[in-house]
Chain A
C-alpha cells in the first residue's frame, strides 16, 4: 500500500535526523541541488523562472515529484529574484535576462563595495555604514541614501530632530524611498510564495533541506564588502581590522539564521563556504582569520538547537582536522571536491557528511559512471550511517538520466 504524505514526511525527516545524529538510518538519504536544472528539465528558460513565480513553482515541483529525493529546497529563496532586484537596480549580480543570456546561470559581480579605509566606519556602526555607503553602491535605486542623516544622531527635540530630517525632502532621497516601497511589495510577494511552497512541500511529504541562511563572517566580509582581492590583501596590510570586522559580523550572522529558522520552522541553516577553502588561503591563515568566527557561528547555532549545514565548496581536504572541532552529531558538512574518503576517516565520528557526485560526471558521464561513483560513496562514506548522498554542485546542466541514476541507485543500494 502506498504511504501517506504524512508517513513519508516522518520517514524522510527521520532518515535525515538519524544521519545527522551519526546513526544508521533505514537507508542513505539522498538530496540534490536542482538549481536551474528544473527550468531546463521543464523546457523553460532560466530567465522565465527568474521573472515568473508560477513557472518557477511549476517546474521545480514537477522536478521534485519526478525525481523524488528525500529533501526539497525552497526555490523562492534563490530564484524569482528578477523583479525585486530590478526594482533595486542591484549591482552585485548578473542574471538571466539581466546582463546575461536567457539560459545563463546568475553570477556574482565581486568588487570593493567597502573601501580599505572604511573599516573604522564599519566597525563603529555597521548599520550606518551600510545605509549611507554600502546600500547606495550595491542598489542603484538607493543611491539617494548617500544623503541620509546619521540616524544615531537623531535622539530628541534638542538633538538631531530640528535639522536631521531635512534630507528627506531632497529629490534623491524621495526617489530612493519610492524605490524602497516598490522593492517592499516585491519582497512581500516572494515571502508569500516561499511560505506557501514550504506548506505545499510538507503536505506532499517533503522536508526542506534548510530553513535559514548564514555565512562565515570572513566570507560575508570578503564576498560582499571587500571583494576577493581586497580581503586577501587585507590579511597582510590590516590583519587586525579583518579580525575585528569578522567579530563584528559574527552576531549579525547568528541573528540572521536564528530569525529565519523561527519563521520557517526548520532548524537547518545553510552556510556556503567560499574563501576559506584549500588554495584560497594557507592553513595558518584559515586558522587565524577564517575558522575562529565560523566555529563560533556554528557553536552558537547548535546552542540554539539549530543544525549548521556548511557547503564546503571546492576542496578543503587540508582543513579536515581543523574543522573537526565542533560538538559531535549536530551538523552536516556537505563537500564538493574534498576527498570524501579521507573526510570519513577524520570526521566520521563527528559530523554527518553530504556529497559529492561531481557536476562534470553528471553533465558529461553516463548513468553507469554515476552509479559506480555512488556505489563507492555508499560503501565507504555511508558505512555505519552519517552520510547523505548529494550532487557536489548545483545541477544546471546535468543529464536527467544521470540525476535519476543517482537518486534511484541510492534508494536501492543505499539500504542499510
Chain B
C-alpha cells in the first residue's frame, strides 16, 4: 500500500492525488494496486463521514477523485475485470419523485463498498421495480424518495413486491428527505437509513462482506 496516496486522497487533495497517480503509473506501478489504495482511501472517507468529520460535499469530492483515478487507471487494466462482487443491490427513486442527488450518493458508496448495484433511476413505476427485481435478483432493495408523496409510492412498491411473491427474498431499506422510522413502519420496509453510510452498513449487515 502506498501510504502517501491513501492519505492524500482521504484528505481530498485532488491536485496532488492525481499528480501522484500519474507519477506512479509512469514509474510502472501496478494499476490494480493504485485502485486498491483508492478503495482504502474511500474506506477512510466513509469512516470520517460516519464520525461527522466529513459531509456530503466531501463525499462528492472523494467521488470526483475516484472517478479521475479510474479514468487514468482503467484503460491499463483491460481484461482483468473488477474482482468478485459481494452481493447485489437494486436502487431507485420511487414513482412521482424525480430527486436523484441522495440516491446517486448511495449508489456510488454501495458500489465502492464492493456490491453490484443496479440503479433504476428516478420516478420508477411500481411495475418496473417488480420486473427488475425479478430479473436482477438482488438481496437488498433501496427505495429513495425526497418528498412526502413518496410515502405512498413506497408503500405501493412494497405491497406490489409482496403480491409478486418477491418480498421474502429481499431486504428493503428506505431513505431520503422526509423519511424516518415512522415512514419505515408505514411503508413496511425493513430499515430506514439516514445517509449513504447507513445504507452501506445495512448491506453489510444483510449480505455480509
Q: Give chain A's interface residues, CB within 8 Å of chain B.
A: 94, 100-101, 104-105, 107, 109-110, 228-229, 232-233, 235-237, 279-282, 285, 314, 358-361, 363-365, 393, 396-397
Residues of chain A lying within 8 A (CB to CB) of residue B61: 232-233, 236
Q: Is the interface of A mostly helix, strand, loop or mixed?
A: mixed
- For this complex, into which size category does the number of interface residues on chain B fall? 20 to 34
Is B162 interfacial (CB-CB < 8 Å)? no
The stretch that binds A, out of B2-10, B21-29, B175-183, is B175-183
Whole-angstrom distance between the Cβ of A234 and the nearest chain B Cβ: 9
A363 touches B98 (CB 8 A): no
Q: Which residue of A lies closest to B104 (CB)?
A: A229
Q: Of the candidates B57, B97, B177, which one forms a contact with A285 in the assembled complex, judged by CB atoms under 8 Å apart?
A: B57
Query: Among residues 170 to 188 in chain B, which have CB atoms less than 8 Å away from a CB atom of chain A?
Result: 177-180, 182-183, 186
Q: Which 5 A-B pairs have the closest CB atoms?
A: A232-B57, A364-B186, A104-B96, A360-B182, A359-B148
B57 touches A94 (CB 8 A): no
Q: What is the bound-complex CA distance between A200 and B186, given in angstroms? A: 40
A396 touches B148 (CB 8 A): yes
Q: Of the candidates B60, B97, B148, B183, which one forms a contact with A232 in the assembled complex, judged by CB atoms under 8 Å apart?
A: B60
Q: A104-B96, A105-B149, A229-B60 are in contact. Are A281 and B101 (CB under 8 A)?
A: no
Q: Of the candidates B97, B152, B177, which one forms a contact with A397 in the assembled complex, judged by CB atoms under 8 Å apart?
A: B152
Whole-angstrom distance between the Cβ of B42 and the nearest chain A Cβ: 17
Residues of chain A lying within 8 A (CB to CB) of residue B151: 360, 363-364, 397
Is B50 interfacial (CB-CB < 8 Å)? no
Task: Flag B128-172 by CB within 8 Å of A: 1 or 0 each.
Answer: 000000000000000000011101100000000000000000000
Q: What is the bound-complex CA distance between A94 and B99, given in angstroms? A: 11
Residues of chain B lying within 8 A (CB to CB) of residue A109: 98
Residues of chain B lying within 8 A (CB to CB) of residue A393: 148, 178
B99 touches A236 (CB 8 A): no
Q: What is the bound-complex CA distance between A94 and B179, given in angstroms? A: 22
A-B contact pairs, 14 of them (CB 8 A): A101-B96, A107-B97, A107-B99, A229-B101, A232-B56, A232-B61, A279-B195, A280-B57, A281-B56, A282-B54, A282-B57, A360-B148, A393-B148, A396-B148
Q: What is the bound-complex CA distance between A237 and B166, given in angstroms? A: 46
Q: What is the bound-complex CA distance between A403 and B61, given in angstroms? A: 42
Residues of chain B lying within 8 A (CB to CB) of residue A236: 12, 14, 57, 61
Q: What is the bound-complex CA distance between A236 and B151, given in angstroms? A: 36
Q: What is the bound-complex CA distance between A279 and B183, given in angstroms? A: 21
Q: Taking A107-B98, A285-B55 as given, write out 7 further A-B residue pairs in contact, using a Cβ cutoff of 8 Å, ordered by the A residue number.
A: A107-B99, A228-B101, A280-B56, A360-B178, A360-B180, A364-B182, A397-B148
Query: Among residues 24 to 82 in chain B, which have CB atoms less than 8 Å away from a CB atom of chain A?
Result: 53-58, 60-61, 64
Q: A105-B149, A232-B60, A233-B61 are in contact. Are A360 and B183 (CB under 8 A)?
A: yes
Residues of chain B lying within 8 A (CB to CB) of residue A235: 57
Residues of chain B lying within 8 A (CB to CB) of residue A397: 148-149, 151-152
Q: Which residue of A lies closest to B186 (CB)?
A: A364
User: Interface centre among B54, B99, B101, B182, by most A CB within 10 Å?
Assistant: B182
Whole-angstrom distance between the Cβ of B18 and the nearest chain A Cβ: 12
Q: What is the bound-complex CA distance between A279 and B178, given in angstroms? A: 15
Whole-angstrom distance between the Cβ of A373 and the nearest chain B Cβ: 11
Q: What is the bound-complex CA distance between A70 and B147, given in angstroms? A: 26
Q: Of the candidates A100, A233, A363, A365, which one forms a contact with B148 in the assembled complex, judged by CB atoms under 8 Å apart?
A: A363
Q: A104-B149, A396-B148 are in contact. Are A94 and B55 (CB under 8 A)?
A: no
Q: Which residue of A lies closest to B155 (CB)?
A: A364
Residues of chain A lying within 8 A (CB to CB) of residue B179: 360
Whole-angstrom distance between the Cβ of A67 and the nearest chain B Cβ: 18
Q: Which residue of B lies closest to A364 (CB)?
A: B186
